[in-house]
Structure 1
Amino acid sequence: MKQQYDQILVTPKPFVKWAGGKRQLIPILNENLPKTFGTYFEPFLGGGALLFNMLTERNDQKCSISDLNSDLVLSYTTIRDKIDDLINSLKNHEKHYQKNSKKYYYSIRESNPRSQIEKTSRLIFLNRTCFNGLYRVNSKGKFNVPLGKYTNPNIVNEENLCSVSRILRSSKISIKCRDFEAVLRDAKRDDLVYFDPPYQPVSDTSNFTSYTNKDFTYDDLSRLVELCMKLDSKGCNVLLSNSNSQKVADMFTTKPWKIFKIKANRSINSNSKKRTGHFELLIKNY
């Protein structure tokens, strides 16, 4: 039945809001991509804004995408393989949410479904209806964001989900759940590796956002920097996004690294006045 969606010509966009999402930075990121490259690797997939934009413009592009968040990776594979069942499940969530949004939201937040379809529809439902569309889990791995104040959230967004499903079905795209360091085994000369990790705090009073229940620590950042150096020595193209942090900049002072400071807004900061006027770093070796 999923063939009925093959002719939908909607440009695919991220199906979840994700802290640090890159939709607003796509024009700048596009300007900073190499003219040509082999396989595209993205080991901190998140919402996949750059991936979807790239596949729209280069539909023959070979991609290897991954993330350590198993629920997120499951969502990508479910959308790819079981789109009809997922949409039906989301429509069911929408129907119950409209009857009693608060009661239903917290009942789903407390639930722990076992099936692939229900796990994915729960993640998308909570992401669409929670406060600020923020994905956050506590130290026990439990989603803990309160209900958002929406009058009519777009819970199903059928056209976009079908478009995402269609584009992910390419045999040239592989989706894995794994630590970012695993990319070193697969990436070859002239491939492009784009890193968009949880950002380094810009001050001692700010924190990392927990995308998984394992925080991305300063040690992880050091591992990432070392990995960038190894990929560079293999002849890979490396592009890295991070916060406008002096610590990060100091780690890339040698050749061939080039550091650019770019303007970026924070679309899911709880304080709307703090969403603008931010800068972040774009670092590359080509």
Structure 2
Amino acid sequence: MKYNKLVAPVLKWVGGKRQLLPEIRKYVPKKITTYCEPFVGGGAVLFDIQPEKAIINDINSELINLYEVIRDDVDLLINDLKKHKNEQDYFYKVREMDRDSDVYNNMTKIERASRIHYLNKTCYNGLFRVNQAGQFNSPFGRYKNPNIINEITLKAVSKYFNDANITFKCGDFEKSIKGIRKGSFVYFDPPYDPVSDSSNFTGYAKGGFGRSEQVRLKKLCDKLNNRGIKFLLSNSATDFIMDLYKDYNIEIIKAKRAINSNGKKRGEVDEVLVRNYE
């Protein structure tokens, strides 16, 4: 399968890995039978390495629906995206659709994918955020000319999804890789352990991802390690995470992070890459 430079993330995503790809690339094994990513998000690593066989999971059903529509109905999606307007009143009208179950439940998969793609391109900071009821609640972004119909990228990603053998899943991270075999490689990019109380971004999916989930993820890493399956994990370089993974290889890397309400506090932060191989 030929590598395609046009294959890239179609969404802006909190904690997206584009800027860290040079670091992550260093640690991706040369031989992988199945690439597994239980927290795929915007998919920067997936689209960078473009594995021929992959298991992709996310708890966010809107995101997985969008990826499935890109694979199955990209032309219909592109056509539907043309109806959207970069206007504040229109944005809030589209955003409110998930508040009315009758309206929302009658939307087709394509309409739902189009909605979430549009909201992501026009909302503040590309911040995919939901409230406790699971309703999209990021505000309007006031961008002059957002790329709502990124047709070239959408078509390139659609071709990749169809040329490769990719299984899409939507559910718990642990269940998504149940039964994978030696030779598989797992990249974990979970919601990060917060470096401060104010940085705790919990709105990506209703329910959040607290310390007990971080511990459950570490136990899953131990299980993979005991079975000889390689994993690479990204997280923040908090004392909690450093201690949790102290038995593994830890690289500290610098990352620029833009999601902060205080512009002065946006800047370089320490993150870790944890792995169980040399």
The answer, yes or no, to whether TM exceeds 0.5 is: yes
Q: RMSD over aligned Cα, in angstroms?
A: 1.6
Q: Give the secondary structure class of the aligned counterpart of 2:116.
A: helix
Deviation >4 Å, runs of 4+: none
The amino acid that maps onto 1:14 is P
Residue aligning to 1:50: 45
* Paired residues of 1:10 and 1:159 also in contact (CA < 8 A): no
Q: Is the aligned partner of 1:102 residue 2:88?
A: yes
Q: Give the secondary structure class of the aligned counterpart of 2:216.
A: helix
Which is worse superposed, 141-150 or 270-279?
Answer: 270-279
Residue aligning to 2:101: none
1:184 to partner: Cα distance:
4.3
Residue aligning to 1:234: 227
Residue aligning to 1:91: 82
State percent identity of aligned pairs. Answer: 47
Unaligned regions of 5+ residues in structure 2, if any? 99-103
The amino acid that maps onto 1:191 is S
* TM-score (normalizing by structure 2): 0.92
Residue aligning to 1:4: none
> What are the residue-to-residue correspondences of 1:106-145 with 2, within 5 Å?
106-112=92-98, 113=104, 114-145=107-138
Structure-2 separation of matches of 1:280 and 1:85:
39
The amino acid that maps onto 1:237 is K
The amino acid that maps onto 1:185 is K
1:162 corresponds, among 152, 155, 168, to 155
Q: Give the secondary structure class of the aligned counterpart of 1:265.
A: strand
Residue aligning to 2:265: 274
1:205 to partner: Cα distance:
4.3
How many matched pairs? 268
Q: Give the secondary structure class of the aligned counterpart of 1:185.
A: coil
Q: Give the secondary structure class of the aligned counterpart of 2:207.
A: coil
* TM-score (normalizing by structure 1): 0.90
Residue aligning to 1:37: 32
Structure-2 separation of matches of 1:82 and 1:205:
40
The amino acid that maps onto 1:77 is E
Structure-2 separation of matches of 1:160 and 1:275:
28
Residue aligning to 1:225: 218
Unaligned regions of 5+ residues in structure 1, if any? 1-6
Which is worse superposed, 169-178 or 154-163?
Answer: 169-178
* Paired residues of 2:57 and 2:176 also in contact (CA < 8 A): no
* Paired residues of 2:88 and 2:142 also in contact (CA < 8 A): no
